[in-house]
Amino acid sequence: MYKVLSENIGEEIEKLISKAMSVSICSPFISESKVMEIVEKRHIDFKLVFKLCKQSPDSVVMHLAKDYPNQIHFYLDGDNFHSKMIIIDDQFIIVGSSNFTNGGLYQ
């Protein structure tokens, strides 16, 4: 079964992760977002892959590196990687063009 999400992507992801046990996120850019707030607040087991570049704020990168060193993986700015994907409980996968930032998910 599949579902096409074109509107309210952030809200749909929030609903799914609000009940999740594990989340894997792959995005070229990471910033403070409602999605990451829910993941951290609920202490969900997560893995995060993102690009280490100027679009990923130093404060967010440092926070994740300090608090979740074994759960984050990053690649360098020169690497050609632009995929966006989230896997929830190994049951749901969302692939798209939206970055996992508030701007990408809610605007």
Task: Tell me what the mean pLDDT of segment 79-97 comes to.
Answer: 85
Backbone angles phi, psi at 106, to 5 degrees: -120, 5
Task: Tell me what the mean pLDDT of segment 68-76 comes to.
Answer: 88
Report the predicted TM-score, pTM, of the whole model to 2 decimal places: 0.82
The predicted pLDDT at position 63 comes to 92
Distances (CA, A) of 20 to 24, 42, 92: 11, 9, 10
pLDDT tier for residue 79 given thresholds of 50, 70 and 90: low
- Enter the tokens of residue 23: 């989340």
pLDDT single digits (tens) 45-62: 999 998 888 888 899 989
Burial 24-50 (b: 16+ CB within 10 A, else e): bbbbbbbbebbbbebbeeeebebebbb
pLDDT for residue 71 is more than 90 = yes
pLDDT single digits (tens) 31-44: 888 888 888 899 99
Percentage of the chain lying above the pLDDT 90 cut: 29
